[in-house]
Amino acid sequence: MDKKIFERWAKETPKIRENIIKMIHQCQSGHPGGSLSAVEIIYSLFAKDGIMNHDPAKFDTIKERDRFILSKGHGIPALYATLHAVGYDISEKELMTLRHVDSRLQGHPDRVRLPFVEASTGSLGQGASIAQGLAMAYKLDKINNHIYCVIGDGEMQEGQIWEVALSAPHQKLNNLTVILDYNKGQIDGMTNDILKIDPPEEKWKAFGWHVQVVDGHIYEEIVNALKNTHPDKPSMIVAHTIKGKGISFMEEDTVKWHGVGPTDDELKIALDDIRNNNTIGL
């Protein structure tokens, strides 16, 4: 893929970060850290010239579209902001209804209110199984599309993740790629202090996955890994990321910024940080 595409994406993503932080600020709740860590991963899939075969204008009419499941449902501001950025029917005004009563933009994904999110997640572990099921159904129908699923590192502590880890390779689901947003933090502390998941790549490899390790904030690495699938194994991409990526005070205190909204003053600093840095992703 042409490097100019990645340069263009790097110029487009600050707007996504800006919307994420504004959305969380206006309702004073939500999960900035784990939303900002997943921005490049999600944008690599949805961006124009990105990996996924999808059409915002014809959503739901294309059965063979590639599917994206955000299993770490608390990272949803990143997905809402991305869907808006690439042309799905969510206006900037609607983005700012996040977590309001009657909004389609629930605090965690709700596919009944907003079908674009593809699955209702938020209870960790469940989205990965749903992604596996989509892969099973399309494989049965011999449809040549691909299912992508983002899980969190804290989420790797859930038993259901290990059911998927065992099951998807058994079924040879080469049409499934799970991406671990390895941002090292969870609510109560650093992931490897709370319940060690290291080394994730060896664990997934032992379960029979095609494992690749990337820097989750470098488009070229993410895209190359997404393209490099295996003929008969599901793929796991361990993406090393930084919680709160792009906002100085969040990167410095990642655990604090798991699940709180910024104050008015913090919002100003955050927006300055975002606007002054359009090289994230390169």
Partner 1 sequence: MSKIATRKSFGKALEELGDKYPEVVCLDADLSKSTQSQLFAKKYPDRFFEMGIQEANMIGCATGMAFAGKIPFICSFSAFLTGRYDQIRISVGYADANVKLIGTHSGVGIGEDGYSQMGLEDLALMRTLPNMVVLQPADDKETREMIEWAINHKGPVYFRLTRHGLKEMNMDKFEKPGIYPQLKEGEKIAFLASGGLLEYAFDAAKNLQNSGKINPAVYNANCANPLDNAFMSMLAENYQEFVVFEDHTVTGGIGSAISEWMSEFAVTPKRVRRYGVMNVYGESGTPEDLYKKHGFTTEAICEYAQKNLI
CB neighbours (10 Å) of residue 115? 12
27-66 mask for partner 1 (x: CB under 8 A)? ------------------------------------x---
Joined together, the tokens standing for residue 41 give 């991963």
List the one residue from 166, 187, 195, 206 that touches partner 1 (CB under 8 A).
Answer: 166
Work out whether strand 147-152 and strand 176-182 pair parallel, antiparallel, or are unpaired: parallel
Distance CA 239, CA 47 (A): 18
Does position 141 interact with partner 1 (CB under 8 A)? The reply is: yes
CB closer to partner 1, 125 vs 246: 125
Choose the stretch contacting partner 1; rule: CB under 8 A; options: 23-31, 43-51, 86-94, 137-145: 137-145
CB closer to partner 1, 126 vs 212: 126
Q: Report CA-CA distances (Å) from 145 to 51, 58, 98, 155, 238.
A: 11, 16, 31, 26, 22
List the one residue from 56, 133, 200, 259 that touches partner 1 (CB under 8 A).
Answer: 133
Does position 132 interact with partner 1 (CB under 8 A)? The reply is: yes
**Matching residue, tokens 């002054």:** 276
Report in angstroms how near the CB of residue 34 gets to partner 1 at its nearest.
Answer: 19
Give which of 179, 164, 95, 104 is closest to 134, Cα–Cα.
164
User: How many amino acids of this chain bind partner 1 (CB under 8 A)?
Assistant: 37
Does position 125 interact with partner 1 (CB under 8 A)? The reply is: yes
Binding residues for partner 1 restricted to 97-116, rule: CB under 8 A:
110-112
CB closer to partner 1, 110 vs 181: 110
List the one residue from 129, 186, 212, 235 that touches partner 1 (CB under 8 A).
Answer: 129
Work out whether strand 189-190 and strand 176-182 pair parallel, antiparallel, or are unpaired: unpaired
Binding residues (CB under 8 A) for partner 1: these are 63, 67, 69, 110-112, 118-123, 125-138, 140-141, 147, 159-160, 163-164, 166-167, 170-171
